[in-house]
């Protein structure tokens, strides 16, 4: 705990304690217990089987792919995989819950304790414990805004597989929670077990918040339900902490309850108290025998695991000497990392297996371009990296043009913009537009001679000690050559001429 | 055909032979049963009849018979318990809440029987959601047994598969399907002088069978002879990927298994079943059954099932618990009866209050209670522990014996109106049968004699898992050595 995370109330400092339950929709063609499809955005009630709709005599049959996805996720969270788990029924009545119960795993979840490492703003890392991960069905959707007197039910989502990932109450600030959610999302997306899309609801978070005096026993918590963006999570926690501290400092008590976050007002409000909490009457689902998986399945999945962000970041820093910040930005999204790594494989230094320092230099330049001009262009045009008009191969080509002194970094920026608009390879653009650097000393010398002759007074000033004028001469030559002068060659020649 | 009953009195084996030799057609056979079913309509054995479809299917069977494309049960008219979902045919579970429900799918068992060539005459009556032991809780009125007491009052056909036993015992169908959660095949078979077999849990698919208590429910056949039972079971048994609790074990040739000898088999008589207040006629018949098996070469020995007395209480915790959850889906939202209300909760309460009968409500209450926070450990968890111990007891017993012999029910059938008035006494009917459901074991009830008031009594055999063949083999010996031949007794009962 760092003191900076403490909340300052009227009566002193408060420690914030937060645990998070994330519901992550499993990427799978079919639902958890039926073969109905799961595509988002289909017309209401078009992706529903009789099993999903809870028809009489219908029975659940477990989708093995969803089990593999849960195991894969468990491994990605460095967690224990339980070879024997069980499904339980969580009983409650609601119109969008067709069976009157949700099939979940209360007593014996498929995944046990694990952890996620988050990076804090100050550059330090923190380990957040994962209590468990279990598989369960999603409910359908109730629609209340179509008629003043009726509600409508869409069962497309009913029965879709979810992974509920429960954290330990290890987080101490909204920033940590946001970092945790982002990191979890990144891991799930790397694993391709959940698309992490909070807007579409395929990843949802319930946040348990309490406050206490540092070092004292845990306070009473409030659960904030279904906050659907990372930013809102931050806002909801900030509001909730303030609310709880104010209550306690005014001699009142925090009651255990479920609260909803109102994004428009930026506040949480009570949804139901402890006394209204459902008695879910959990019991093992008699329609489903215990789920038993073999260690061989776990090992097969382990052997097919992609490199995860933490490992990738470490490798980029260690092998390619990337700056931690650049590495962070590159690994944050799997697509970015993939693009970057593809770029690397297209670079000459890697294709020709040059010395490590050459590779590192090339990688560094590629990383700069990717996180700089490339990201800026994506942002400007509102595109994602997989929609980019510039391929990884073309970006590598551009970097190589710079590294081999064919064009200068400055010219490269123009070439880049041209690439973006035309999708042409940079070599072709450089050739057609004649943008190659002037490295021919003869041509450069002529240009320099001309500039020095035109500015004899400045040359005299320079020679009498006004060093700063060197930049002026560089600028003039650049102007005369349309920016194509090779900067290094120019510097060298100019120095020789002036001294 | 001169005698109308000459076709309906046939066993399935005889009917298959008659169809093969063209002694009569499938149409004639079905028509005779349709006529008989219409004659016995006052028994209320069927909730829904499908006579027209049956006639059409009989014609189709005749075509197949002519072409030599005969299936194992080609042209055999049967009854389908109205708990099996049948595509396009109303399926009610004998409840108002499903009073007009027409499934868009077919249960695996009814599908297999269709594919075996049987002809369904309709959906047979039952206790509402299979909850009952006398078929008195049906929303469509009670089914009556063809058996009557001395005063001429109809007996109950047992339950929950009472419509099935009423239909088969009255010669309105050659066989019928049943489901057995705590004895719902074996007890009604015992009450009506029929053979009823509850297979091993997982032997017959539960897909499309409206659930009462999922961990206990098992479908099985109700027939007039042991051989017919073997034929029906052959068509019904088998692994089904649509039921996760179905077990992938090969299905043997039951007719073949039935034919073996009992020489050297060990039969256990649980001392715990020798209840202090066991009726003398039931006790005497039990002894006689043991003698018959001994004479056939088996060794009868006493065995201990120490926890048997807890079977009933454990059953009446686990079954209602599962039922309370299984029946939550009947909420008026998507299908079935709906009674509107001005809120979602009101819709639920109105619909379920009007849709369920008293016995179903009682079990939902009990089940909800035993699963509730604070009571779950005291009731449900303890019942499950008992269940696990009982399974161990049976394992222990079956390490000493091959089969277990007990009465099927503690009493012969009671007459309509003479049933026990308090639910707990009614539940006592299941005392000998529930343990097989708790342990997932197969059991058969064999008509073996008559009570002091000349009403049917059945004997129950229990076997280790997937030993249905053994049940049929020993059952056949009991059947063939019954005091009055069961078929003769049935014909006699129908004449009264």
Residue of B160, B190, B246, B435 marked active site: B160
A323, A176 Cβ separation under 8 angstroms:
no
Q: What is the pLDDT of residue B1?
A: 42
Query: Cβ–Cβ of A91/B101 closer than 8 Å?
Result: no
From the candidates B331, B338, B381, B383, which should be mutated to test the interface with A, based on the most A CB atoms within 10 A? B331
The two beta strands, A7-8 and A13-25, are: antiparallel
List of chain B residues whose C-beta atoms are within 8 Å of the C-beta of residue A286: 213-215, 245, 322
List of chain B residues whose C-beta atoms are within 8 Å of the C-beta of residue A50: 104-105
Residue of B25, B81, B110, B205 marked active site: B81
Q: CA quadruple B56, B58, B64, B67: dihedral positive or negative?
A: negative
List of chain B residues whose C-beta atoms are within 8 Å of the C-beta of residue A89: 325
Res. A1: pLDDT tops 60: no
Residue B276 burial by Cβ neighbours in a 10 Å radius (0-12, 13-18, 19+):
exposed
List of chain B residues whose C-beta atoms are within 8 Å of the C-beta of residue A289: 244-245
List of chain B residues whose C-beta atoms are within 8 Å of the C-beta of residue A144: none
Task: Confirm whether B476 is a catalytic residue.
Answer: no
Domains and CATH numbers, chain B: 5-264+401-495 (3.90.1300.10)
Q: How far is B128 from chain A (nearest CA, A)?
A: 14
Res. A207: pLDDT tops 70: yes
B187, B433 Cβ separation under 8 angstroms:
yes
Domain edges within chain A:
3-301, 307-433, 441-498
Q: Which residue has the higher pLDDT, B185 or A453?
A: B185
**Per residue in A376-396, is it b (16+ CB within 10 Å) or e — as a string?**
ebbeeeeeebeebebbbebbb
Sheet hosting strand A88-91, strand order edge to edge: A101-104, A88-91, A283-284
B86 shares contact with chain A (CB less than 8 Å): no
User: In the structure, what pLDDT confidence band is assigned to residue B2 with cuts at 50, 70 and 90?
Assistant: very low
Task: Determine the Cα–Cα distance for residues B157 and B463; give it in Å rounded to an integer.
Answer: 25
3-class DSSP assignment, residue B11: coil
From the candidates A57, A100, A139, A143, which should be mutated to test the interface with B, based on the most B CB atoms within 10 A? A57
B242 shares contact with chain A (CB less than 8 Å): yes
Report residue A219 as tokens: 């306070």
User: In the structure, what pLDDT confidence band is assigned to residue B152 with cuts at 50, 70 and 90?
Assistant: very high
Q: What is the pLDDT of residue B290?
A: 98
Query: Cβ–Cβ of A283/B321 closer than 8 Å?
Result: yes
For chain B, the average pLDDT equals 96
| Element (DSSP H or E) covering residue A494 | helix A487-498
A98 shares contact with chain B (CB less than 8 Å): yes
Query: Cβ–Cβ of A61/B105 closer than 8 Å?
Result: no
Which of A423, A424, A426, A425 lies closest to A412 in space, CA to CA?
A426
| Element (DSSP H or E) covering residue A269 | strand A267-273
3-class DSSP assignment, residue A131: strand
Looking at residues B302-314, what average pLDDT do you find?
94
A286 shares contact with chain B (CB less than 8 Å): yes
Query: Cβ–Cβ of B245/A287 closer than 8 Å?
Result: yes
Query: Which residues, numbered 414 to 433 in chain A, qualify as contacts with chain B under a Cβ-Cβ cut-off of 8 Å?
Result: none
Q: What is the pLDDT of residue A453?
A: 86
pLDDT over 70 for what percent of chain B? 99
Query: Cβ–Cβ of B334/A58 closer than 8 Å?
Result: no
Instruction: Pick B329's closest partner by Cβ from A62, A98, A281.
Output: A98
A99 shares contact with chain B (CB less than 8 Å): yes
A83, A292 Cβ separation under 8 angstroms:
yes
Tell me the per-residue pLDDT of A128-162, one tens digit each, with 9 for 90 and over: 999 999 999 999 999 999 998 889 999 999 999 99
Question: CA dist A111 to A80, A298, B72, B241, B380, Å?
Answer: 6, 12, 48, 26, 26
Phi/psi region, residue A382 (left: phi>0; alpha: psi -120 to 50; beta: rest), is left
Task: Determine the Cα–Cα distance for residues A334 and A481; give it in Å rounded to an integer.
Answer: 42
List of chain B residues whose C-beta atoms are within 8 Å of the C-beta of residue A288: 244-245
Query: Cβ–Cβ of A62/B244 closer than 8 Å?
Result: yes
A172 shares contact with chain B (CB less than 8 Å): no
Query: Cβ–Cβ of B215/A283 closer than 8 Å?
Result: no
Query: Cβ–Cβ of B244/A91 closer than 8 Å?
Result: no
Res. A410: pLDDT tops 90: no
DSSP secondary structure of A413-435: HHHHHHHHHH---HHHHHHHHT-
Q: What is the pLDDT of residue A2?
A: 57
Query: Cβ–Cβ of B214/A286 closer than 8 Å?
Result: yes
Report residue A78 as tokens: 């460095």
Q: Angle at CA A489, nearest 5°, toward A487 and A495?
A: 100
Give the alpha-carbon dihedral of B435, B436, B437, B443, to 10 degrees: -150
Q: What is the pLDDT of residue B397?
A: 97
Domain A441-498 of CATH type 1.20.120.450: no
- Count of positions (residues) in chain A: 499
Tell me the per-residue pLDDT of A354-401, one tens digit each, with 9 for 90 and over: 999 999 999 999 999 999 999 999 999 999 999 999 999 999 999 999
Residue of B184, B246, B408, B445 marked active site: B184
Tell me the per-residue pLDDT of B27-69, one tens digit each, with 9 for 90 and over: 999 999 999 999 999 999 999 999 999 999 999 999 999 999 9
A166 shares contact with chain B (CB less than 8 Å): no
Residue B160 burial by Cβ neighbours in a 10 Å radius (0-12, 13-18, 19+):
buried
Among chain A residues, the shortest Cα distance to B107 is held by A57
Looking at residues A181-190, what average pLDDT do you find?
96
pLDDT over 90 for what percent of chain A? 75
A62, A32 Cβ separation under 8 angstroms:
yes
Looking at residues A183-211, what average pLDDT do you find?
95
Res. A493: pLDDT tops 90: no
A62, A291 Cβ separation under 8 angstroms:
yes
From the candidates B356, B371, B372, which should be mutated to test the interface with A, based on the most A CB atoms within 10 A? B371
Tell me the per-residue pLDDT of B90-101, one tens digit each, with 9 for 90 and over: 999 999 999 999
Query: Cβ–Cβ of A55/B103 closer than 8 Å?
Result: yes
Q: What is the pLDDT of residue B424?
A: 82
Looking at residues A470-475, what average pLDDT do you find?
88
List of chain B residues whose C-beta atoms are within 8 Å of the C-beta of residue A149: none
List of chain A residues whose C-beta atoms are within 8 Å of the C-beta of residue B328: 91, 93, 99-101
B220, B198 Cβ separation under 8 angstroms:
yes
A289 shares contact with chain B (CB less than 8 Å): yes
List of chain A residues whose C-beta atoms are within 8 Å of the C-beta of residue B344: 94-95, 151
Q: What is the pLDDT of residue B3?
A: 65
Q: What is the pLDDT of residue A3?
A: 61
Tell me the per-residue pLDDT of B435-480, one tens digit each, with 9 for 90 and over: 999 999 999 999 999 999 999 999 999 999 999 999 999 999 999 9
Instruction: Pick A283's closest partner by Cβ from B98, B107, B371.
Output: B371
Which of B108, B125, B214, B184 lies closest to A99 in space, CA to CA?
B214
Report residue A110 as tokens: 């498929």
Task: Confirm whether B22 is a catalytic residue.
Answer: no
Q: What is the pLDDT of residue B32?
A: 97
Query: Cβ–Cβ of A57/B208 closer than 8 Å?
Result: yes
Res. A459: pLDDT tops 50: yes
pLDDT over 90 for what percent of chain B? 94
Q: CA quadruple B359, A59, B229, B216: dihedral positive or negative?
A: negative
Looking at residues B315-334, what average pLDDT do you find?
97
Q: Tell me the angle at which helices A426-433 and A392-403 cross, rounded to the nearest 10 degrees.
A: 50
Query: Which residues, numbered 410 to 439 in chain B, qualify as contacts with chain A under a Cβ-Cβ cut-off of 8 Å?
Result: none
Res. B141: pLDDT tops 50: yes
Q: What is the pLDDT of residue A102?
A: 98
List of chain B residues whose C-beta atoms are within 8 Å of the C-beta of residue A61: 241-244
> Residue A206 forms beta bridges with which residues?
A21
Looking at residues A484-493, what average pLDDT do you find?
82
Question: CA dist B128 to A196, A197, B50, B82, Å?
Answer: 46, 46, 21, 10
From the candidates A59, A97, A276, A279, which should be mutated to test the interface with B, based on the most B CB atoms within 10 A? A59
Which of A155, A198, A153 lies closest to A42 in space, CA to CA?
A155
Res. A433: pLDDT tops 90: no
Q: What are phi and psi for residue A479, nearest 5 degrees?
A: -60, -45
Tell me what ipTM this predicted complex has: 0.96
Question: CA dist B214 to A63, A162, B143, B380, Å?
Answer: 20, 24, 25, 15
Q: What are phi and psi for residue B415, nearest 5 degrees?
A: -80, 155
Q: Angle at CA B279, nearest 5°, toward B273 and B280?
A: 105
B161, B118 Cβ separation under 8 angstroms:
no
Q: What is the pLDDT of residue A432?
A: 86
From the candidates A281, A284, A285, A288, which should be mutated to test the interface with B, based on the most B CB atoms within 10 A? A281
Among chain A residues, the shortest Cα distance to B84 is held by A57
For chain A, the average pLDDT equals 92
Query: Cβ–Cβ of B245/A289 closer than 8 Å?
Result: yes
Task: Determine the Cα–Cα distance for residues A32 and A163; give it in Å rounded to an integer.
Answer: 11
A292, A176 Cβ separation under 8 angstroms:
no
Which of A124, A127, A103, A106 lies closest to A115 in space, CA to CA?
A127
Tell me the per-residue pLDDT of A270-313, one tens digit each, with 9 for 90 and over: 988 776 778 999 999 999 999 999 999 999 999 999 999 999 99
Phi/psi region, residue B67 (left: phi>0; alpha: psi -120 to 50; beta: rest), is alpha
Q: What is the pLDDT of residue A112?
A: 98
Give the alpha-carbon dihedral of B90, B91, B95, B101, to 10 degrees: -60
Task: Confirm whether B496 is a catalytic residue.
Answer: no
Tell me the per-residue pLDDT of B197-228, one tens digit each, with 9 for 90 and over: 999 999 999 999 999 999 999 999 999 999 99
B98 shares contact with chain A (CB less than 8 Å): yes
């Amino acid at each position: 705990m760092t003191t900076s995370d403490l909340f300052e109330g009227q009566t002193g400092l408060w420690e914030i304690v937060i645990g998070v339950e994330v519901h992550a929709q499993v990427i799978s063609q079919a639902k958890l217990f039926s073969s109905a499809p799961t595509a988002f955005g289909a017309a209401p009630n078009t992706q529903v089987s009789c099993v999903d709709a809870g028809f009489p005599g219908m029975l659940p049959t477990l989708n093995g792919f969803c089990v593999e996805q849960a195991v894969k996720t468990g491994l990605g969270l460095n967690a224990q995989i339980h070879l024997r788990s069980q499904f339980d029924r969580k009983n409650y009545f609601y119109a969008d819950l067709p069976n009157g119960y949700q099939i979940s795993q209360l007593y014996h979840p498929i995944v046990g304790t694990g952890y996620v490492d988050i990076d804090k703003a100050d550059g330090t890392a923190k380990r957040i414990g994962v209590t468990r991960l279990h598989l369960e069905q999603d409910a359908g959707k109730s629609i209340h805004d179509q008629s003043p007197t009726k509600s409508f039910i869409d069962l497309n989502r009913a029965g879709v597989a979810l992974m509920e990932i429960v954290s330990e109450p290890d987080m101490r600030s909204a920033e940590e929670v946001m970092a945790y959610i982002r990191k979890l999302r990144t891991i799930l997306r790397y694993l391709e077990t959940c698309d992490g899309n909070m807007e579409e609801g395929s990843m949802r978070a319930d946040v348990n918040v309490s406050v206490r005096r540092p070092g004292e026993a845990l306070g009473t918590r409030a659960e904030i339900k279904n906050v659907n963006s990372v930013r809102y999570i931050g806002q909801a926690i900030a509001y909730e902490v303030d609310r709880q501290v104010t209550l306690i400092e005014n001699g009142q008590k925090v009651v255990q309850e479920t609260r909803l976050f109102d994004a428009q007002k930026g506040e949480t409000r009570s949804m139901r108290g402890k006394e209204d909490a459902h008695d879910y009457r959990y019991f093992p689902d008699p329609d489903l025998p215990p789920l038993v998986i073999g260690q061989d399945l776990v090992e097969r999945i382990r052997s097919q695991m992609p490199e995860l962000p933490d490992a990738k970041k470490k490798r980029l820093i260690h092998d390619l000497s990337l700056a931690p910040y650049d590495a962070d930005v590159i690994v944050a999204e799997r697509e970015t990392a993939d693009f970057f790594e593809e770029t690397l494989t297209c670079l000459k230094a890697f294709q020709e297996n040059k010395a490590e320092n050459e590779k590192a230099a090339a990688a560094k330049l590629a990383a700069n371009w990717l996180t700089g001009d490339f990201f800026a262009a994506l942002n400007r045009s509102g595109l994602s990296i997989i929609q980019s008009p510039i391929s990884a191969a073309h970006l590598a080509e551009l970097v190589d043009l710079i590294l081999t002194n064919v064009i200068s970094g400055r010219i490269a920026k123009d070439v880049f913009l041209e690439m973006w608009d035309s999708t042409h390879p940079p070599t072709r653009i450089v050739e057609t537009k004649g943008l190659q650097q002037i490295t021919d000393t003869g041509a450069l010398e002529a240009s320099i001679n001309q500039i020095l002759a035109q500015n004899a007074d400045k040359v005299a000033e320079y020679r009498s000690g006004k060093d700063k004028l060197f930049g002026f001469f560089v600028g003039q030559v650049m102007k005369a050559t349309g920016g194509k002068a090779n900067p290094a060659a120019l510097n060298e020649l100019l120095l020789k001429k002036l001294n | 055909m001169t005698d109308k009953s000459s076709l309906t009195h046939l066993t399935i084996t005889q009917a298959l032979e008659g169809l093969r030799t063209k002694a009569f057609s499938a149409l004639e056979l079905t028509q005779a049963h349709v006529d008989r079913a219409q004659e016995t309509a006052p028994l209320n054995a069927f909730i829904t009849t499908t006579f027209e479809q049956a006639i059409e299917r009989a014609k189709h069977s005749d075509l197949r018979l002519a072409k030599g494309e005969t299936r194992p049960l080609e042209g055999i008219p049967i009854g389908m318990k109205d708990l099996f979902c049948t595509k396009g045919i109303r399926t009610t579970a004998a409840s108002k809440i499903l009073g007009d429900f027409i499934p868009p799918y077919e249960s695996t068992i009814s599908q297999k029987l269709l594919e075996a060539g049987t002809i369904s005459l309709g959906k047979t009556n039952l206790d509402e959601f299979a909850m009952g032991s006398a078929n008195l809780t049906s929303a469509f009125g009670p089914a009556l047994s063809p058996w009557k007491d001395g005063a001429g009052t109809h007996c109950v056909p047992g339950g929950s598969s009472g419509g099935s036993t009423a239909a088969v015992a009255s010669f309105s169908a050659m066989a019928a399907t049943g489901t057995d959660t705590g004895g719902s095949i074996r007890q009604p078979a015992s009450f009506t002088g029929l053979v009823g077999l509850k297979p091993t849990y997982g032997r017959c698919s539960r897909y499309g069978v409206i659930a009462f208590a999922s961990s206990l429910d098992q479908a099985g056949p109700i027939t007039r002879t042991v051989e017919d039972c073997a034929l029906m079971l052959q068509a019904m048994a088998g692994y089904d990927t649509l039921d996760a609790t179905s077990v992938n074990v090969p299905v043997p040739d039951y007719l073949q298994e039935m034919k073996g000898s009992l020489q050297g088999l060990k039969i256990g008589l649980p001392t715990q079943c020798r209840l202090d207040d066991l009726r003398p006629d039931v006790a005497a018949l039990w002894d006689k059954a043991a003698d018959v098996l001994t004479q056939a070469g088996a060794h009868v020995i006493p065995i201990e099932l120490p926890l048997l007395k807890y079977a009933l209480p454990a059953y009446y915790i686990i079954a209602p618990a599962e039922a309370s959850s299984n029946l939550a889906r009947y909420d008026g939202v998507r299908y079935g009866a709906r009674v509107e209300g001005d809120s979602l909760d009101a819709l639920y309460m109105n619909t379920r209050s009007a849709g369920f009968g008293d016995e179903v409500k009682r079990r939902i209450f009990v089940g909800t209670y035993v699963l509730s926070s604070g009571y779950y450990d005291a009731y449900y968890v303890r019942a499950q522990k008992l269940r696990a111990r009982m399974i161990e007891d049976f394992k222990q017993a079956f390490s000493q014996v091959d089969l277990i012999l007990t009465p099927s029910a503690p009493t012969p059938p009671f007459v309509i109106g003479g049933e026990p008035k308090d639910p707990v006494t009614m539940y006592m009917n299941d005392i000998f049968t529930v343990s097989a459901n708790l342990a997932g074991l197969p059991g058969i009830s064999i008509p073996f004699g008559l009570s002091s008031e000349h009403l049917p009594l059945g004997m129950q055999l229990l076997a280790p898992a997937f030993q249905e063949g053994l049940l049929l083999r020993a059952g056949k010996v009991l059947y063939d050595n019954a005091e009055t031949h069961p078929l003769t007794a049935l014909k006699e009962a129908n004449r009264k």
